[in-house]
Amino acid sequence: MIPLSGDLGDTKGVIKEKIGSFSTTRGTSTLKRGFAHMLKNGVVMDVTTVEQAQIAEDAGAVAVMVLDKLPSDVRKAGGVARTASIRIIQEIMDSVTIPVMAKCRIGHVYEAMVLQETNVDMIDESEVLTPADENHHIWKWDFTSPFVNGARNLGEALRRIEEGAAMIRTKGEPGTGNVAEAVIHIKNVNTELRRIKSIYDAGDEQDLISVARELKVSYSVVEETASLGRLPVVNFAAGGISTPADAAYLMTLGCDGVFVGSGIFKADDAKERAQAIVLATTFWEDPDKVKEAQKMIDERQSMLGLDTKNLELRMQERGSTA
């Protein structure tokens, strides 16, 4: 069974209808979170074209994420980054059998509605695009399609879940080819989870209430998360993953899977790298297999990457206080 903490039940996104003689319900937390559970131990790859989506599917990607530009190009281009062209999303949906996700701007309710109408399988309310509303994320319970959101720490993750996110990913620092920030974020979440679990195990309700206040999230979500000792939804790593070893390392930190952005299609050996990262994510417990995967790539063909200390734009800070 999957945990349903924070579930609001019959919200606007839940649709009941009759199909033949059967009563059906769509958009429930079980279906949204369940979808994310089917992605576990998989690699979701950022793509911008049909060709890239097909390479991703053939390499064993569990889903593709359609963008107008890869995150590193978003950085270079500057300006306002918005959701991808619907025509390209549609073409990709018609050419691959794996799930297709797309990004909308933080807080941009109507971009998300358009993606839902387009019928993408999951919507990523993403800091890679320019936020439309820094103070309010989308109230995701109003949607039938599931959402994934980025988080740098437990508070952000739980606030997004409270808004209806069916899946969480670390923010990392997208488009840098540098995994360091993703590592920090997953470790932050893990440390905080251990802390609230120990408070829960000690039966200290008063302390758990102060945690809820500190994280700016309701007590029931904190309590259920603390009892589980993990996030109540599937949690992937994202941001700066470039090599098989990067992916395997994040899996050892307890992530349920990985998103790879610029790391694959900004490298000169995209096809081999895509396969290698899938292998390393699947067989992360076996160092010999990860070595074999790492052997499939050429470090001279990795994207150059950026030092995350001196960035003009820190995407991870977008929407983080809300």
Partner 1 sequence: MSGVTIGVLAVQGDVAENIMATKMAIEELGLDGIVTEVKTPEQISDLDGLVIPGGESTVIGTLSLVNGSLKKIKEKIASGMPVFGICAGMIMLSKKAKDRVVGEMDQPLLDFLDVKIERNAFGRQKDSFESEISMDKIGINKFQGVFIRAPSIIDAGKDVEILSKFNEKIIAVKQGNIIGTAFHPELTGDLSLHKYFVSLIKAKH
Q: Which residues are annotated as a binding site for D-ribose 5-phosphate?
A: 46, 175, 240, 261-262
Identify which of residues 196 and 279 has a Cβ nearer to partner 1 in the complex.
279
Residue type at 147 in one-letter notation:
F
**Lookup: tokens for 30:** 């079980």
Tell me phi and psi for residue 271, to 5 degrees. -60, -50
Q: Please report where in the chains the tokens 């990795």 appear, as a residue.
A: 302
Task: Determine the 3-state secondary structure of 297 from DSSP.
Answer: coil
Identify which of residues 116 and 218 has a Cβ nearer to partner 1 in the complex.
116
* Gyration radius of the chain's alpha carbons: 19
**Lookup: tokens for 134:** 């820094």
Pairing state between β 15-19 and 22-26? antiparallel
Question: What's the gap between Cα 35 and its chain centre?
Answer: 13
Task: Determine the 3-state secondary structure of 14 from DSSP.
Answer: coil
Kindly name the residue from 32, 103, 140, 266 that is annotated as catalytic.
Answer: 103
Shortest distance, position 135 Cβ to partner 1, whole Å: 28
Give the residue among 167, 131, 172, 129 at the shortest CA–CA distance from 152.
172
How far apart are alpha carbons 197 and 188 in whole angstroms?
A: 14
The verdict on whether 140 is a catalytic residue reads no
Footprint on this chain of partner 1 (rule: CB under 8 A) = 1-2, 19-28, 30-31, 34-35, 37-42, 57, 60-63, 93-99, 116, 119-122, 144-146, 278-279, 282-283, 289
User: CB of 7 within 8 A of CB of 220?
Assistant: no
Identify which of residues 97 and 252 has a Cβ nearer to partner 1 in the complex.
97
Catalytic center residues:
103
